[in-house]
Amino acid sequence: MTEGNIKTLFLAVVLGMFCTNLSCLAQSETNNQTTEKYPDYAYAFNGNDKFENFNRKMFAFNIKANKYVLKPINTVWASILPKCAMERVKNCYTNIEYPKRMVSCLLQKDFKSTGKETARFVINSTVGLGGMFDPAKNKFNIEPAQEDMEQVFSNYKSKKGPYLVLPFTQPSNVRGYIGKVFDVGLNPSTYLAGSGLVIAKAGGMVNRTSYSQSLIKHLEDSFADPYDVAKKLYGIDNYIKNTNMDRKEVMAKIVTSQQTENETDYTSTPLLSMKSDMVLKNYDPQSPVVDSIRTSLFELPNVNKSFWNELSVWNRSFDKKIKTAEVNIDPKRENYKYRYILQKDKKAPIAIVYPSIGEGSFSHHPVVFAKIFHDAGYSVIIQGSPFHWGFLKSAPKNYRPGLPEKDAQYTRLVTAKILKSLNKKEQIDPCGKIIVGTSYGGLTTLFIAAQEEKQNTLNVSKYISISPPIDLFYAVKKLDSYSAQYCKNTAELQQRTAIAASKLMQMNRDLKNNPTVDNFQTFPLTEEEGIITTNFMMRQKLSDVIFTLEDVSKTKKTDVYAHINEMNFNDYFKKYLFKGSNKPINEMNYDMSLYSIENFLANNDKYKIYEARDDYYANEKQISWLKKTGLNKVVLLQNGAHLGFLYTEEFQNALKKDISLFKSDTLKTAKK
């Protein structure tokens, strides 16, 4: 019996344990309406998690099996073959799977795609040297149709059935696993025998699984409950696949219909009356919430560029050069992980990066900032936001993030311990220190600056704050207003979320093929899709924090999400921060704003703030107050909303000039 036959039989037997006939597939379809106050995306796309207890255990097993078995094999493979060779192997196996795609298209009566896939197979098998290359797409512009047998069942209205996690397989629903059985049967390599062919097939499997490692690492590093996030991502991806939103021509029709239905989506936002200090020449504003998502374009060359795959031990991209270390904050809690990269000169100035709310030390934006500073001659430390589940794991048990003054105090403590640890471990003696923070990290930066003015413990010479919320409670109410706008109809929520996700995934693919932002002066989202995307991301960050505070097990079935999906940020503040406080609400709101450190902002010259005039987390009155208080220490950008200007040439040049001048001044002072 061949490897493919064994795999087919195994899947069929396991599926039989859960489902004796196809009629059971109808039992877990989503209802038309959601019941929670705020959207539960895992439920909306997957229905009730009938086997959650089993699924969580299998998910944890697969994570461990990947860590101790599959990942080491993938690492060896990726260290033998360079990235270009791995791509050739991947293309070959994709080409071999042509029958699966052809039969899927035929059974769906999609004869146009059948013809395209046949043409692609012929061209790539001949001109593409057995499928190693893809001239069908690159030379003849024939886009692939990533079809499989599950899409056939979906096309014929088969119910998807419960979400299910099986050992050594990617999560799916029952319909998806049945589709995989047929996919294996339609794969020609299933029926090929011989020791050489078995080795070749094993190599193909190792090569394919290697591409999953970056996602697995991202899930483990970035989220408090990777199981729940994986379930959401699978549900959205599966919906996109089964509605063909992964095809360019389908999305092109959707975009055309949207522009016809609502011509106001891409209109420019009216500018505020205040004069701007920085004009973004090629910036075509849409709406503040969409402009803010342009922060995803914040990228620099060579951050991840390498001849080798990310897993390879030979990969020496900038991100791979950043080291990870730990310090202990509370003896009863986990060690806190941070990242750093040092200059050879032990006296080089050091930059400390505080990221946005909900971001950890492994997030992408801090790495890009680290590259900017490192290129300018700085050593760099990357910390996580205090409003991040990883940060909470190291904090005292009763710690609750969200109060800027307390978060600043705790962040200072962590920074001091990191500097002390690095001084002991690496013998650094920086001639100067600079702190840069974005969004909530920018607010934390300014509160630390005010505290350091009274009690200098870190000896920081310069603070740079980018898009700090001026009035945190105002910003929270604005954010919560977006959560309240989601559609209660599950089918409509699915479609709107999937369209936004599909557009962003297509943009990401285009950026990989052509790493320039020149083609994205108009961002591919409507204002509604911008709100949906922002709401999805911010609610996930809130969910991670509450999940951690409630000390929920990752491997046991839990009802905590029923609680989470009833809460917005304002509810979080009331339950975890305001409850039991003797201060009136108005006084606490004042303490959470920059108004509470007005004297520092007016009289201290050690900081700089970059703020867009159309930041939707502030109003014109607040921005006018900030400019009047900080004067030339506050740079108002013409556009960009909240962090949506990070990728622009004007901002990056201004930042580089700031840190270059600071470095020159500190070196002169050090020599004296």
Q: Which domain holds residue 21?
A: 3-29+47-241
Question: Does the pLDDT of residue 11 top 60, yes or no?
Answer: no
Does 280 map to a domain? no
CB atoms under 10 Å from CB of 391, counted, come to 26
Does 508 map to a domain? no
pLDDT, residue 9, reads 37
CATH code assigned at 463? 3.40.50.1820
Q: Are 161 and 61 part of one and the same domain?
A: yes
* Higher per-residue pLDDT: 662 or 548: 548
CB atoms under 10 Å from CB of 84, counted, come to 10
Q: Kindly report, residue by residue over 227-246, the tens digit of the pLDDT.
A: 999 999 999 999 999 999 99
Query: Which of 18-32, 318-332, 530-544, 654-668 is least confident?
Result: 18-32
Q: Are 335 and 228 part of one and the same domain?
A: no
Average of per-residue pLDDT across 79-95 = 95
* Per-residue confidence band for 258, with pLDDT thresholds at 50, 70 and 90: confident
pLDDT, residue 669, reads 64
pLDDT, residue 122, reads 97
Residue 299 CA to residue 465 CA, distance in Å, equals 19
Q: Kindly report, residue by residue over 589-645, the tens digit of the pLDDT.
A: 999 999 999 999 999 999 999 999 999 999 999 999 999 999 999 999 999 999 999
Question: Does the pLDDT of residue 5 top 70, yes or no?
Answer: no
Query: Which of 15-29, 35-49, 230-244, 338-352 is least confident?
Result: 15-29
Contact 89, 207 (CB under 8 A): yes
Average of per-residue pLDDT across 12-32 = 42
Burial (CB < 10 A; 0-12, 13-18, 19+), residue 357, is buried
* Per-residue confidence band for 199, with pLDDT thresholds at 50, 70 and 90: confident
Q: Are 229 and 323 part of one and the same domain?
A: no
Query: Which of 55-69, 210-224, 245-259 is least confident?
Result: 245-259
Best CA proximity match to 162, nearest among 147, 150, 177, 179 = 177
Best CA proximity match to 670, nearest among 504, 429, 387, 329 = 429
pLDDT, residue 268, reads 43
pLDDT, residue 269, reads 46
Q: At which of 193, 218, 241 does a domain end?
A: 241
Does 170 map to a domain? yes
* Per-residue confidence band for 522, with pLDDT thresholds at 50, 70 and 90: confident
Q: At which of 209, 241, 273 does a domain end?
A: 241
Q: At which of 204, 225, 241 does a domain end?
A: 241
* Per-residue confidence band for 516, with pLDDT thresholds at 50, 70 and 90: low
Structural domain count, the chain? 2
Rounded to a whole number of angstroms, the CA Rg of the chain reads 26
Q: Are 25 and 132 part of one and the same domain?
A: yes
Question: Does the pLDDT of residue 660 top 60, yes or no?
Answer: yes
pLDDT, residue 671, reads 59
pLDDT, residue 632, reads 95
Average of per-residue pLDDT across 377-396 = 95
Does 361 map to a domain? yes
In residues, how long is the chain? Answer: 672
Residue 165's SS3 state is coil
Question: Does the pLDDT of residue 480 top 80, yes or no?
Answer: yes
* Per-residue confidence band for 318, with pLDDT thresholds at 50, 70 and 90: very high
Q: Are 99 and 203 part of one and the same domain?
A: yes
Q: Kindly report, residue by residue over 266-295, the tens digit of the pLDDT.
A: 444 445 577 899 999 888 899 999 999 999
Sign of torsion over alpha carbons 273, 275, 281, 286: negative
Question: Does the pLDDT of residue 3 top 90, yes or no?
Answer: no
Average of per-residue pLDDT across 89-109 = 95
Does 72 map to a domain? yes
pLDDT, residue 484, reads 72
Q: Are 324 and 179 part of one and the same domain?
A: no
Average of per-residue pLDDT across 12-21 = 40
* Per-residue confidence band for 347, with pLDDT thresholds at 50, 70 and 90: very high
Question: Does the pLDDT of residue 490 top 90, yes or no?
Answer: no
Question: Does the pLDDT of residue 223 top 60, yes or no?
Answer: yes
Q: Are 113 and 14 part of one and the same domain?
A: yes
101-121 as b/e: b if 16+ CB within 10 A = bbbbbebbebeebbebbeebb
Query: Which of 160-174, 197-211, 484-498 is least confident?
Result: 484-498
Does 549 map to a domain? no
Strand 433-438, strand 462-466: pairing: parallel
Does 398 map to a domain? yes
Q: Kindly report, residue by residue over 525-556, the tens digit of the pLDDT.
A: 999 999 999 999 999 999 999 999 999 888 88
pLDDT, residue 486, reads 65
Question: Does the pLDDT of residue 4 top 90, yes or no?
Answer: no
pLDDT, residue 467, reads 97
Does 109 map to a domain? yes
Q: Are 207 and 64 part of one and the same domain?
A: yes
Q: How far apart are the first and last CA of the chain?
A: 79
Q: Are 209 and 335 part of one and the same domain?
A: no
* Per-residue confidence band for 25, with pLDDT thresholds at 50, 70 and 90: very low
Q: Kindly report, residue by residue over 422-459, the tens digit of the pLDDT.
A: 999 999 999 999 999 999 999 999 999 999 999 999 99
Contact 627, 267 (CB under 8 A): no
Quote the mean pLDDT of the chain: 88
